Chain A
Amino acid sequence: MTPPPALLAQPDAVVLDLPVTSGEAAIRALHAKLAALPAVTDAELLLRDLMERAAMSSVCISPEVALPHARTAAVSRLVLAVGRAAPAVPFDAGHPAVRLVILIGTPKKQVTEYLQLVAGTVRLLKNEKVRAALLAAPTEAEFRAVLARGLAG
Chain B
Amino acid sequence: MKTASAAAPEFLRRLVRLLRWRLWIAEKLHPTEWQTTLLWAGLAGFLGALVSLLFSGLAEGIHEFLTGSSAGVVESMRQLPWWACIAVPATGGLLAGLVLQFGKKLTRSQSSTDYMEAIVIGTGHLPVRASLVKSTAALFSIGSGGSIGREGPMVQLAAMVASYLGRLQQFTPPQLRLLVACGAAAGIASAYNAPIAGSFFVAEIILGTIAMESLGPLAVSAVVAALTVRALTNAAQLYHVPAFRLNSPWEMGPYIVLGLTTGVVAPWFLRSLRAAERAFVATRLPLVVRLVIGGALVGVLAIRVPEVCGNGYSVVVDILNGNLSNLVFGLGLPSHHLAWVALALVFVCKWIATAASFGSGAPGGVFTPSLFMGASVGYLFGTAVNAVWPAGAPDPGAFALVGMGAFLSAASRAPVMAVIMLFEMTLSYDIVLPLLLCSVLAYYTAKGIEEQSLYSESLQRKSAEQPAAALPARRVAELMKADPPVLPVAARFAEIAERFLAVRVNNLYVVDEAGRFLGVVSLHDIKPYLGEPEVAELVLARDILHEDFPRLSPDQSLSEALGGFLGIAAERLPVVEPGGRLIGSLAKGDLLLTLVEKRKTPVPGGTAA
Q: Do A and B associate with each other?
A: yes
Which A residues fall within an 8 A CB radius of B?
23-24, 53-62, 67, 69, 71, 91-94, 108-109, 111-112, 114-115, 118-119, 122-123, 126
Is B465 at the interface (CB under 8 A from chain A)?
A: no
**Contact A56 B490, CB 8 Å, known A114-B543, A126-B534:** yes
Provide the residues of chain A in CB contact with B535, threshold 8 Å.
115, 118-119, 122
Please pick, from B3, B525, B542, the residue contacting A58 in the complex, using a CB distance under 8 A: B3
Provide the residues of chain A in CB contact with B566, threshold 8 Å.
none
Provide the residues of chain A in CB contact with B526, threshold 8 Å.
115
Provide the residues of chain A in CB contact with B542, threshold 8 Å.
53, 56, 71
Provide the residues of chain A in CB contact with B545, threshold 8 Å.
71, 111
Interface size on B, residues (CB 8 A): 26
The 30 sampled A-B contact pairs (Cβ below 8 Å) are A23-B1, A24-B1, A53-B542, A53-B543, A54-B1, A55-B1, A55-B2, A56-B2, A56-B540, A57-B492, A58-B1, A59-B538, A60-B4, A61-B537, A71-B545, A92-B1, A94-B3, A111-B522, A111-B525, A111-B545, A114-B543, A114-B544, A115-B525, A115-B526, A115-B529, A118-B539, A119-B529, A119-B535, A122-B535, A123-B532
Give the top 4 A-B pairs by smallest Cβ distance, nearest first. A58-B4, A94-B3, A92-B1, A93-B3
**Contact A122 B534, CB 8 Å, known A115-B525, A115-B528:** yes
Q: Say yes or no: B534 contacts A69, CB within 8 Å.
A: no
Please pick, from A59, A91, A115, A126, the residue contacting B544 in the complex, using a CB distance under 8 A: A115
* Per-residue contact bits, chain B 527-564, to A (CB 8 Å; 1 contact, 0 not): 01100101101111011111110000000000000000
Provide the residues of chain B in CB contact with A112, threshold 8 Å.
525
Q: Say yes or no: A119 contacts B532, CB within 8 Å.
A: yes
Separation in Å of the A1 CB from the closest CB of chain B?
A: 18
Separation in Å of the A33 CB from the closest CB of chain B?
A: 20
Provide the residues of chain B in CB contact with A109, threshold 8 Å.
548
Provide the residues of chain A in CB contact with B544, threshold 8 Å.
111, 114-115
Most buried by A among B534, B537, B548: B534
Task: State the CA gap A72–B423 with chains docked (Å).
Answer: 67
Separation in Å of the A48 CB from the closest CB of chain B?
A: 14
Q: Say yes or no: A92 contacts B538, CB within 8 Å.
A: no
Q: Say yes or no: B538 contacts A61, CB within 8 Å.
A: yes
Most buried by B among A24, A55, A71: A71
Separation in Å of the A26 CB from the closest CB of chain B?
A: 11
Separation in Å of the A42 CB from the closest CB of chain B?
A: 17
**Contact A67 B529, CB 8 Å, known A56-B490, A94-B3:** no
**Contact A57 B525, CB 8 Å, known A71-B545, A119-B535:** no
Provide the residues of chain A in CB contact with B522, threshold 8 Å.
111
Provide the residues of chain B in CB contact with A61, threshold 8 Å.
534, 537-538
Please pick, from A55, A71, A92, A94, the residue contacting B543 in the complex, using a CB distance under 8 A: A71
Contacting residues of chain B (1-31) with chain A, CB-CB under 8 angstroms: 1-5
Q: Say yes or no: A67 contacts B538, CB within 8 Å.
A: yes
Could you list 4 further interchain pairs (A-B, Cβ under 8 angstroms) beyond the known A57-B2, A59-B538, A118-B535? A53-B542, A69-B543, A111-B544, A115-B539
Task: State the CA gap A67–B4 with chains docked (Å).
Answer: 13
Provide the residues of chain A in CB contact with B5, threshold 8 Å.
57
Task: State the CA gap A53–B1 with chains docked (Å).
Answer: 10
Provide the residues of chain B in CB contact with A108, threshold 8 Å.
547-548
Separation in Å of the B542 CB from the closest CB of chain A?
A: 7
Most buried by B among A56, A57, A119, A126: A57
Separation in Å of the B494 CB from the closest CB of chain A?
A: 12
Separation in Å of the B544 CB from the closest CB of chain A?
A: 5
Separation in Å of the B470 CB from the closest CB of chain A?
A: 45
Q: Say yes or no: A94 contacts B525, CB within 8 Å.
A: no
Provide the residues of chain B in CB contact with A94, threshold 8 Å.
3-4
Provide the residues of chain A in CB contact with B538, threshold 8 Å.
59, 61, 67, 118, 122
Provide the residues of chain A in CB contact with B528, threshold 8 Å.
115, 119
Closest to B1 in A: A92
Closest to B547 in A: A108
Provide the residues of chain B in CB contact with A118, threshold 8 Å.
535, 538-539
Please pick, from B4, B529, B546, B548, the residue contacting A57 in the complex, using a CB distance under 8 A: B4
Closest to A125 in B: B534
Task: State the CA gap A123–B490 with chains docked (Å).
Answer: 24
**Contact A92 B525, CB 8 Å, known A111-B544, A115-B535:** no
Closest to B521 in A: A111
Task: State the CA gap A96–B538 with chains docked (Å).
Answer: 17
Most buried by A among B1, B526, B532: B1
Task: State the CA gap A55–B538 with chains docked (Å).
Answer: 13
Task: State the CA gap A62–B492 with chains docked (Å).
Answer: 17
Separation in Å of the A143 CB from the closest CB of chain B?
A: 22
Q: Say yes or no: B546 contacts A111, CB within 8 Å.
A: yes
Q: Say yes or no: A58 contacts B529, CB within 8 Å.
A: no
Most buried by A among B5, B490, B492, B538: B538
Closest to B543 in A: A71
Separation in Å of the B520 CB from the closest CB of chain A?
A: 10
* Per-residue contact bits, chain B 503-535, to A (CB 8 Å; 1 contact, 0 not): 000000000000000000010011011001011
Closest to B546 in A: A111
Separation in Å of the B526 CB from the closest CB of chain A?
A: 8
Closest to A62 in B: B534
Task: State the CA gap A99–B219 with chains docked (Å).
Answer: 65
